[in-house]
A and B are shown apart, each in its own frame.
Chain A
Amino acid sequence: MSRRARQPPSARLPLAGGLLAAAWLLQSGLPAVAAELDASCNVVMPFDGINKGVAGGVYNSGTPEQRAAAQDLARRAALDPRLSIQPAILDPPAPPPPAPPYEERTLVITYPFDSDRASGPDMVKLKALAVYARAAAARRVRVTGHRGDSRLSDGSDLAEKPPLAEARAKKVAGILQALGIDAAVTQVQWELEAPVGRGDEDWRNRRVEVTVSP
């Protein structure tokens, strides 16, 4: 469906990634905003009445102490529903603080294609590495960003955008500084070129390496 938009010449606002222009909804209806590549996934079937999302266990992850506490609360809450608003999942015990001898440590963070968003588990590891770096009074924390190239099944290559290595490195460095790592000891660098994909384990090239040197 097409739409004619009235755009006052003064009503334009630059964004970092584009331009915002004022239009006005003149009539009801919805414009098509992007062409569909494939309609095969457009139909979402309504709820089938079978899977209600009831978890099979009370709490199947966490430490043994956490699971025991959750299971105990489940037993008591079954008898007294007032307990159902008490937190079932307790914080795990804090890990022991890092202790000498301090040695060089490296963390490799990998990324989805064309993304600078790392996973939650990797961020947990990064937080632990920051604690280690502070305890070790690291004299250098080197952050190196990379981007990747994927060899597709038809033999062609699909490379990530060139700025991504820099974006990944700077983002991780910013997180480290927010976690208390001195910017003066942080060395941020990135590789401009992406290794040619091989079609096997190309995901390993989409990464940031963080090396802590005591």
Chain B
Amino acid sequence: MIRNSPPCTRISAFNPACRELCDRKAATSVNRASAESRIRGALSSSIHAGTKRTSQRARSSRISLASPVESFERQVYAAQSVDAVAGELTAPGAPPGLGPEALHSGAPARLGNNPINRIFGSFAMWQQPAADARVGADLKAGADSQPGTDQSVQRARRESIARGADVFYLRRFLISDVGKYNDKGLGNPFKRSCGSGCHNTLLMGMDLAPGYMDLGLNNLPWANARPDLPLFKVVCESGAVPQSYLGRVMFTHDPGRALITGKCADVGASMTQQSRSLAARAPYFMNGSAANLRELVDFYDRRFNIGYTETEKQDLVNFLSVL
């Protein structure tokens, strides 16, 4: 079973729940090596980061591993810096939430789902037409003049990214039948956008008040078809609190949180992930069931019957590609 561990970069922005994930990641040398190789890979590409290697002796136990790994990750700020089409993402006039410097200087652990912050800040400077003359002037002077890049193609990509930001921030849909989410008193269905529902932490896009939930990533009938993974049948005791929408008999590729708690209601539940550096760390979801960002968007579109248009899907993919 594939466990695509989340990169716990900028861990100071996270709450203890994510640290738990980091600790779980640190518990095995395989996952630890995976995290390090991912970070090394990111460093060798377009991601800026400050690094310090963990010590070799830290391999011996979970207790001795947790501290140096966490110490290492606390000083890493990983975010996309360059897009092959949109160009430099941190040039003057670019959206302020992009790039690792925004993470480094940004306030940690703040709710961003409000009309000012919009999770990753404003993309107005890439909208068409330019939001104001001053921003347009910045574009002309800086980010829009990448050498060797066709300006019209670059501008079209930037406008697509800005539209994708609006889809992420504003496009609401009905979230229904998510175990450990809709049954928490929120209502079923519950209407939210990507950013206002779960991925709401300023600059990071993880859930500021996270919890394990069954989005449908692991449990049938919603999970993507994965004939390469084992399928488990879970039969809960008659007195157990059932999974609210699937009952006490479930088929799952990954029992998820239930393997830790033993609770029927936790079968298939996993944690909302942060959203930075997505382009560098496919495949997506904890079981790797989305090979690329388009498959990720398609899963949500199918799961919640959102009805994204083809343009909206591509805009959302382009937006997620520059975080």
State how many angstroms separate the Cβ of A99 from the closest Cβ of chain B: 30
What chain A residues lie within 8 Å of B230 (beta carbons)? 22-25
State how many angstroms separate the Cβ of B253 from the closest Cβ of chain A: 8
Complex alpha-carbon distance, A7 and B135, angstroms = 63
**Binary CB contact string for chain B from 97 to 128 against chain A (1 if under 8 A, 0 otherwise):** 10000100011001100111110111011000
State how many angstroms separate the Cβ of A48 from the closest Cβ of chain B: 9
Q: Which residues in chain A, 15-44, are within 8 Å of chain B measured between CB atoms? A: 15-25, 27-28, 30-34, 44
Complex alpha-carbon distance, A34 and B189, angstroms = 19
* Selected contact of A87 from candidates B117, B234, B237, CB within 8 Å: B117
State how many angstroms separate the Cβ of B14 from the closest Cβ of chain A: 16
* Selected contact of B306 from candidates A7, A22, A27, A46, CB within 8 Å: A46
What chain B residues lie within 8 Å of A58 (beta carbons)? 114-116
* Selected contact of A31 from candidates B124, B135, B251, B264, CB within 8 Å: B251
Q: Given A18-B240, A20-B255, is A44 in contact with B304 using a C-beta cutoff of 8 Å?
A: yes
Please state if B116 and A28 are interface contacts (CB–CB under 8 Å).
no
Please state if B172 and A17 are interface contacts (CB–CB under 8 Å).
no
Please state if A88 and B116 are interface contacts (CB–CB under 8 Å).
yes
Please state if A22 and B232 are interface contacts (CB–CB under 8 Å).
yes
Please state if A15 and B258 are interface contacts (CB–CB under 8 Å).
yes
Please state if B306 and A47 are interface contacts (CB–CB under 8 Å).
yes
Q: Given A23-B251, A51-B172, A53-B196, is A30 in contact with B263 using a C-beta cutoff of 8 Å?
A: no
Residue B246 is within 8 A (CB to CB) of chain A in the complex: yes
Complex alpha-carbon distance, A22 and B255, angstroms = 11
State how many angstroms separate the Cβ of B282 from the closest Cβ of chain A: 23
State how many angstroms separate the Cβ of A193 from the closest Cβ of chain B: 19
Complex alpha-carbon distance, A74 and B117, angstroms = 9
* Selected contact of A53 from candidates B106, B116, B193, B220, CB within 8 Å: B193
Task: Name the prevailing secondary structure of the A interface residues.
Answer: loop
Residue B233 is within 8 A (CB to CB) of chain A in the complex: yes
* Selected contact of A74 from candidates B115, B232, B265, CB within 8 Å: B115
Q: Could you say which interface size class chain B belongs to? A: 35 or more
* Selected contact of A33 from candidates B176, B246, B265, CB within 8 Å: B246
Please state if A89 and B172 are interface contacts (CB–CB under 8 Å).
no
Residue A117 is within 8 A (CB to CB) of chain B in the complex: yes
CB nearest to B209 among chain A residues? A120
- Which of B77-85, B221-229, B287-295 lines the interface with chain A? B221-229
Complex alpha-carbon distance, A46 and B110, angstroms = 31
CB nearest to B184 among chain A residues? A117
Number of interface residues of A (CB under 8 A): 52
Tell me which of A21, A24, A57, A81 has the highest count of chain B C-beta atoms within 10 A of its own C-beta: A81
What chain A residues lie within 8 Å of B229 (beta carbons)? 25
What chain B residues lie within 8 Å of A30 (beta carbons)? 220-221
State how many angstroms separate the Cβ of B107 from the closest Cβ of chain A: 5
Please state if A84 and B227 are interface contacts (CB–CB under 8 Å).
no
Please state if B125 and A81 are interface contacts (CB–CB under 8 Å).
yes
Task: Name the prevailing secondary structure of the B interface residues.
Answer: loop
What chain A residues lie within 8 Å of B237 (beta carbons)? 17-18
What chain A residues lie within 8 Å of B221 (beta carbons)? 30-33
Please state if A16 and B262 are interface contacts (CB–CB under 8 Å).
yes
Please state if B185 and A25 are interface contacts (CB–CB under 8 Å).
no
State how many angstroms separate the Cβ of B118 from the closest Cβ of chain A: 7
Residue B170 is within 8 A (CB to CB) of chain A in the complex: yes
Q: Given A15-B262, A18-B264, A47-B306, is A23 in contact with B116 using a C-beta cutoff of 8 Å?
A: no
Q: Given A23-B231, A53-B171, A87-B202, is A33 in contact with B96 using a C-beta cutoff of 8 Å?
A: no
What chain B residues lie within 8 Å of A102 (beta carbons)? none
Q: Given A25-B226, A54-B115, is A20 in contact with B122 using a C-beta cutoff of 8 Å?
A: no
Complex alpha-carbon distance, A32 and B222, angstroms = 11
CB nearest to A28 among chain B residues? B225
Residue B278 is within 8 A (CB to CB) of chain A in the complex: no
* Selected contact of A28 from candidates B227, B258, B305, B307, CB within 8 Å: B227
Please state if B172 and A81 are interface contacts (CB–CB under 8 Å).
no
Residue A194 is within 8 A (CB to CB) of chain B in the complex: no
Residue A68 is within 8 A (CB to CB) of chain B in the complex: no
- Sampled A-B contacts (25; CB under 8 Å): A5-B231, A7-B233, A15-B264, A19-B234, A19-B235, A20-B233, A21-B234, A23-B230, A23-B251, A24-B231, A27-B227, A33-B220, A33-B221, A44-B176, A47-B173, A81-B96, A81-B124, A84-B96, A84-B97, A84-B116, A84-B118, A85-B96, A86-B117, A89-B114, A114-B241
- Taking A24-B231, A73-B116, A83-B96 as known contacts, 19 extra A-B pairs with beta carbons closer than 8 A to each other, sorted by chain A number, are A5-B231, A15-B234, A15-B236, A16-B263, A17-B237, A17-B241, A34-B247, A44-B304, A46-B305, A47-B306, A52-B170, A53-B172, A54-B170, A74-B115, A81-B125, A84-B116, A84-B122, A88-B117, A114-B241
Nearest 9 pairs between A and B by C-beta? A46-B307, A16-B262, A18-B236, A17-B240, A81-B122, A84-B122, A88-B116, A85-B121, A17-B264
